[in-house]
Amino acid sequence: MDISPITIPDVVVRRLPIYARSLAYLAEEGIESVSSQELGERIGVTAAQIRKDLSYFGEFGKQGIGYNVEYLLGHIRRILGLTDSWPVALVGAGQLGQAIARYEGFSTRGINIVGVFDNDPDKVGMDLGRLIVQSYAEMAKLIDNQHIRLAIVAVPASQAQQVVDQLVEHGVRGILNYAPIVVQVPDGVWVRHIDPVALLHSMTYYLAREEARSHVDQQ
């Protein structure tokens, strides 16, 4: 089946890695089959939503039997392009960048950070285990030689757009942005923003209202 990524809603694509992770846990637990209801309860998605999402890619389950865990996991991994390891460039070697570079969970899930870059002379040459921090001047060469299409940006907000522009210019097409700013990219480039402070603020909204209601109730 020839599936163009344009025909698949982005929200569905975002859920596929969650399905894959949950199925991997089930496989580790020795569970051979799972129903859409059981899978949904694990990840907070309705059974109907799971069936609808998977229907974009074919038929994987049998009514009354459910999904074969290994079979479905293998298909989702192929859909996500995880049959091979993806080389990734990491830009930013501050405290966050160093933590990302040392995180072992990437390599076990098909993501291989092959280069770390920073424009701070004090950080260039820093030993991060299997990686040495390089200067921005080396970035284009590595991206071209390693055919890198994915990058992680962990720089201050003031530098983020310039860094993203450089990455896109050199051929990067997927960017995970940790900088607390929404960066602009041309069509054909995918960006995911991770802003822990903004995410925490989205929860303080609810907590503040709970506390306000509690205060009113106590009066």
pLDDT band at 158 (very low <50, low <70, confident <90, very high): very high
Please determine, for residue 1, whether its predicted confidence score (pLDDT) is greater than 50.
no
CATH class of 86-197: alpha beta
Question: Dmax over Cα atoms in the chain, in whole Å?
Answer: 68
Residues 31-42: what's their mean pLDDT? 93
Q: How high is the pLDDT of residue 64?
A: 62
CA separation for the pair 97, 90 (Å, rounded): 7
Main-chain dihedrals φ then ψ at residue 170, nearest 5 degrees: -90, 5
> pLDDT band at residue 35, thresholds of 50, 70 and 90?
very high
**Contact (Cβ atoms closer than 8 angstroms) between residue 76 and residue 16:** yes
In this structure, which CATH number among 3.40.47.10, 3.40.50.2300, 1.10.10.60, 1.10.10.10 belongs to the domain 5-79?
Answer: 1.10.10.10
Burial of 112 (0-12, 13-18, 19+ CB in 10 A): middle
Is the pLDDT score of 105 beyond 80? Answer: yes
Q: What is the pLDDT of residue 129?
A: 87
Amino acid letter, 65: I
Residue ranges covered by each domain of the chain: 5-79, 86-197
Q: Model confidence over 46-67: pLDDT tens digits? A: 999 999 999 998 777 666 678 9
Band of residue 108 on the pLDDT scale cut at 50, 70, 90: confident
